[in-house]
Amino acid sequence: MKPNALKSKLALIFVLALLLGGCTYYNTFYNARRSFKDGEKAQKRATAQNRHSVGKNHYENAIKKASKVLTFHPKSKWADDALFLIGRAYFNMGEYVKARRKFEELQASFAKSKLVDESHYYISMCHYFSGEEIGAINSLKSLLESERIKSKRKAQASFTIGEIYFERKEFADALIYYDKTLSEFEPDTLSPITRFRIGECMWQEKDYQKAREAFAQVEKLDPSLDLLFESKFKEGECLYILGDHLKGMEIYLELSEDERFSTRLASVRLQIAQGYYFSEELSLAMEENLQVTEGYARTEESAKAYFRLGEIYQEVFVDLQRAKEMFESCSNEASRSEIAKEALTRNANISRIAEYQEALSDEESEQSGKSLFLLGELYLTQMDQPDSALAQYLALANRFPESEYAAKSLYAAAWIKENIIQDPTGAEEIYWRILSEYPESDYLKPALGFLEESPESFGIEADNAERIYREAERLLLVEHEVDSALALYERIIEEFPHSLYAGKSAYAKAWTIEYYANPGDSSAIFAYQTVIDEYPESEYAEEAKIKLGLAARAQPTLPAPRETTPTQEEEDSTLMAQPDTSGPQIPKAPLPVQRGQFVYPETEIMSGIRGGVVLKIRIEFDGTVSEAEVVNSLDNPWIDEAAQEAALNTVFDVEKIDMKDLGGWFLYTVEVKPPGDQDPHTDQTLPGQQQQ
């Protein structure tokens, strides 16, 4: 064979080898990509619950074949595609850590690849779906700043940032990115859901007019059927809240006639019933709710219909028996639903109403004042019926002006007028009544504050009874001046008969006689009996009954265990030296639902002060704190002031507070720690509560 012919033949063989080798790894990648697409097709048909498991075999096969490309042909032009496909497969299977590693590997190994920007997006989403919200936000924000990222991908990134803020209930920030998605980028198919989310943010911000406008725009953006229904439904709710009941009804009637939403008809009919109720067409409202109970038995919608019937019987017709029957039916319809739990609570409240009303049947009953007060508290804090609560509070003050709860009831009535009914003139009248009829009560200070008056102008001193009581405690426990303390307790009883400190002082007097005066006769027994007779409605009367053996303590306080077993002699001496301290004190505040943040004063950081500031706080009927006074200071006025500010920004769950104590004082501790002084191994009990 001639040399030139041999060279040509060898060159042809080499080219064929290259082509065959290229075809081999391309075919391998092609098969990997086909398996990946098969996984995507299967996943599209899956439900949200089993999304990650469906198509898993296809994805694993894709990973296996793409890995061969990387193993045997790491320098090929398909290597970056194979690596990206592996990352996508892991991502679709929900294995976000593995996916992120592959995308990061692509960025490190193929910095000039056209897939680097796409991998950036998927890295951000891996952060997001792994629960790393801050990492996701930072990554997505940097993506938005990149000039190489396409507008549609930026829209997805911006929307995702909005979603993260929305889930964190940071609605103002969410709105910024939802608006950015629509105004700065190409949202494409994201437009309907983004507009819907804007409506939801406005709803959460209680701007129902703007929420309604946003929900109304969704229909124009070609939404999915589910999103169309949800947006129309929410638009109707906004109209109800805004008072446009007729337009709201029009929307729900339109939905009820649309066959596409036949599976959602029960919830629509509930809203139609509400529309009749708002329009004061009670018979139609009740009929519509009854039809829901009959047509959709054993559903949550049926339970809601029974609940609304119960509300009508209770609030409109004041037929507690029929209301109770409806609430019982509600709890039987869908026993595990939230509405059923609420119905059980309503039933319990009706039983308590009956109990209090029975106590009121005898107008001269010693418990009548207390029963009226508790009835008012029940209406206000448990049943959201401020008008009914107001009636009970004012009835108490008018019928039982000598009651221990009279001044507190007037304060509660003024609070309702001021904060719920928005009637400052009515509130002013009641606050003047407190000044006129109960100037010595514990509610003098808030009355003066509202009226912008000073105690000196009335010749009185705010919080006088409390100040005297604290002085009596100091004389007794610190100075051991028993007679002086007894004299101050007696002064409070005589000069401040309507103060809550009157009953407390009577009990403290009896307790002091028993443990400090040692009269050797029946003086202590007589003093405890006086508490029962003079303050029958108070908690101190119950404590006095326990002292005299007339009642048993429901939950006795067990003594703390001792490190060593004492001798009989030590036990006897301990009993003699340590008097009973079970007398009622200012109650401790429960754990807050929203703890005010303690902001360490910058000027005091170098001091390194840490500890707890104990405060006396007034918890109002809605769980907010209206007053905070330092009881135990850390001897630094700036630290104390910051603790007061934290306490004033704290909110409590009123359902966790004894109703008779609401509107009164509680002890609360604000924990003080310099910035950065946090031990990750300490327990997560809310600051200030472990000491209580």
Determine the pLDDT at residue 564: 42
Per-residue model confidence as pLDDT tens digits over 253-278: 999 999 999 999 999 999 999 999 99
Among candidate residues 389, 386, 395, 384, the one with its CA nearest the CA of residue 360: 395
Angle between helix 265-278 and helix 245-257 axes, rounded to 10 deg: 160
Q: What is the mean pLDDT of residues 677-687?
A: 40
Number of residues that make up the chain: 692
Q: What value does the mean pLDDT of the chain take?
A: 84
Domain spans in the chain, listed from the N-terminal domain onward: 6-273, 362-458, 464-552, 586-692
If you average pLDDT over each of 144-148, 349-353, 556-560, 590-594, which comes out highest?
590-594
Pick the CATH number of 6-273 from 3.30.930.10, 1.25.40.10, 3.40.718.10, 3.90.550.10: 1.25.40.10
Tell me, yes or no, if the two domains 6-273 and 586-692 fold the same way.
Answer: no
pTM of the model: 0.65
Asked if residues 310 and 275 have their Cβ atoms less than 8 Å apart, the reply is no
Per DSSP, what are the bridge partners of residue 665?
618
Classified by CATH at the fold level, domain 464-552 comes out as: 1.25.40
Of 161-165, 514-518, 618-622, where does mean pLDDT reach its minimum?
A: 514-518
Q: Which two tokens stand for residue 422?
A: 């928005």
Strand order in the sheet with 611-619: 625-632, 611-619, 665-672
Q: Which two tokens stand for residue 185?
A: 């980028």
Determine the pLDDT at residue 362: 59
Per-residue model confidence as pLDDT tens digits over 318-369: 898 999 999 999 999 988 889 999 999 889 888 888 888 877 765 555 577 8
CA distance 412 to 409: 5
CA distance to 140, 190, 276, 290, 367, per residue, from 197 (Å): 19, 11, 29, 34, 53
Per-residue model confidence as pLDDT tens digits over 436-478: 888 878 788 888 889 888 776 666 655 577 778 888 888 887 7
CATH 3.40.50.300 fits 586-692, yes or no: no
Determine the pLDDT at residue 20: 43
Q: Which two tokens stand for residue 190?
A: 């994201």
Per-residue pLDDT at 389 exceeds 80: yes
Pick the CATH number of 362-458 from 1.10.287.70, 3.30.70.20, 2.60.40.420, 1.25.40.10: 1.25.40.10
Determine the pLDDT at residue 648: 95
Report the percentage of the chain scoring pLDDT > 90. 43
Determine the pLDDT at residue 461: 58
Per-residue model confidence as pLDDT tens digits over 180-209: 999 999 988 999 999 999 999 999 999 999
Query: Got the DSSP string for 179-246?
Result: HHHHHHS--GGGHHHHHHHHHHHHHHTT-HHHHHHHHHHHGGG---HHHHHHHHHHHHHHHHHTT-HH
- The b-or-e profile of 614-639 (16+ CB within 10 A means b, else e) is bbbbbbbbebbbebbebbeebebeeb
